[in-house]
């Protein structure tokens, strides 16, 4: 498939930063002897532009006074496993893995991106623009593309819609597959590899601005209720001062010229503090799927096999 949305997103950020003579040095020296802070990202967030990652990591390192290293993995499960093992200190994850119950718990919420004035986004069910499909029911017996088995917008929400109809993806669709990247889900539908797909509204809208020729070949037939935007989390066990400073750095991006350039490129307004209750409707979807399909065995194929934590 073609390059993911991340390459275009990262390139635009990189140009925004460098056209203004690069990231200006903060009044904090980076201690090269300090242990790097390891920050997890998935391919759903960013994948390709290594120069941009270097710029962003350098900015965060300046603000933290310690090296910050981005660690990229293909799936949310890989990132969550690394948080659990202590291989990561922070990560940008999704609301679905965030609400899952863990024994013992090993992460805590530190910040949520703000998009178009709110810490919210949607799941879009999309089809090809020239197709006759007008609703999810029209996709029965068709091929459907998901993003990640632990994506809220790219997997959980369509699973919830099917559960509400008394069915599941194995019986409703003829075939399903995972792209592990929302942009590639858009591409799969635009290029007719899939009849329909589930994507993150933020990424679809971003692509609509920067890759209109691609996105205009798709059409939204279902828009979910608003969900809490994919959050930033810290691993329990990271010292409190480091967690507090990281929260302050992300919240302060909007107040610093260099930070603002990154936010502008990402099409985000900033990062803020919000309660765990922001993700309650995601918890409710998991619980309803669980109650409607109590015999689910595979969490990769059915979200009902996963329990949620209570806040």
In sequence order, what are the beta bridge partners of 196? 127, 144
Identical topology for domains 5-119+228-277 and 121-226+280-305: yes
Q: Is residue 208 within 8 Å of residue 6, measured between CB atoms?
A: no
- Give residue limits of the domains in the chain: 5-119+228-277, 121-226+280-305
The token pair that represents 86 in the structure block: 């202590």
Per residue in 36-71, pLDDT (tens digit) is 999 999 865 544 456 777 888 899 999 999 999 999
Q: How far apart are CA 62 and CA 41, in angstroms?
A: 19
Mean pLDDT, range 107-136, rounded to an integer:
98
Per residue in 9-32, pLDDT (tens digit) is 544 444 444 444 344 444 445 655
| Class at the top of the CATH hierarchy for domain 121-226+280-305 | alpha beta
Judging by DSSP bridges, how do beta strands 218-223 and 123-128 pair with one another? antiparallel
| Class at the top of the CATH hierarchy for domain 5-119+228-277 | alpha beta
Per residue in 205-254, pLDDT (tens digit) is 989 988 999 999 999 999 999 999 999 999 999 999 999 999 999 999 99
Q: How far apart are CA 207 and CA 220, in angstroms?
A: 14
- Cα 21 to Cα 14, 57, 61: the distances in Å are 11, 17, 18
Q: Is residue 295 within 8 Å of residue 89, measured between CB atoms?
A: no
């Amino acid at each position: 498939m073609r390059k993911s949305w991340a390459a275009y997103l990262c390139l635009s950020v990189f140009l925004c930063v460098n056209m203004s003579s690069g990231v200006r040095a903060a009044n904090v020296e980076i201690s090269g002897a300090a242990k790097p802070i390891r920050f997890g990202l998935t391919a759903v967030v960013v994948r390709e532009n290594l120069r941009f990652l270097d710029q962003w990591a350098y900015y965060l390192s300046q603000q933290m006074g310690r090296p910050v290293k981005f660690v990229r993995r293909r799936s949310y499960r890989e990132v969550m496993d690394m948080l659990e093992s202590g291989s990561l200190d922070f990560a940008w994850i999704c609301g679905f893995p965030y609400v899952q119950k863990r024994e013992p718990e090993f992460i805590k919420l530190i910040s949520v991106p703000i998009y178009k004035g709110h810490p919210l986004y949607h799941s879009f069910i999309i089809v090809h623009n020239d197709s006759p499909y007008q609703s999810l029911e029209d996709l029965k017996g068709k091929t459907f593309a998901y993003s990640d088995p632990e994506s809220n917008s790219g997997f959980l929400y369509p699973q919830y819609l099917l559960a509400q109809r008394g069915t599941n993806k194995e019986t409703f669709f003829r075939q399903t597959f995972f792209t592990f990247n929302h942009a590639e889900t858009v591409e799969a539908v635009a290029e007719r590899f899939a009849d329909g797909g589930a994507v993150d509204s933020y990424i679809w809208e971003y692509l609509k601005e920067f890759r209109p020729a691609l996105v205009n070949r798709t059409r939204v037939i279902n828009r979910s209720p608003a969900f809490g935007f994919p959050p930033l989390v810290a691993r329990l066990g990271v010292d409190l001062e480091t967690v507090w400073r990281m929260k302050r750095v992300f919240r302060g991006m909007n107040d610093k010229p260099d930070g603002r350039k990154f936010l502008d490129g990402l099409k985000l307004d900033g990062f803020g503090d919000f309660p765990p209750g922001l993700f309650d409707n995601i918890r409710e979807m998991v619980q309803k799927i669980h109650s409607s399909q109590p015999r689910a065995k595979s969490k990769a194929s059915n979200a009902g096999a996963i329990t949620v934590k209570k806040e």
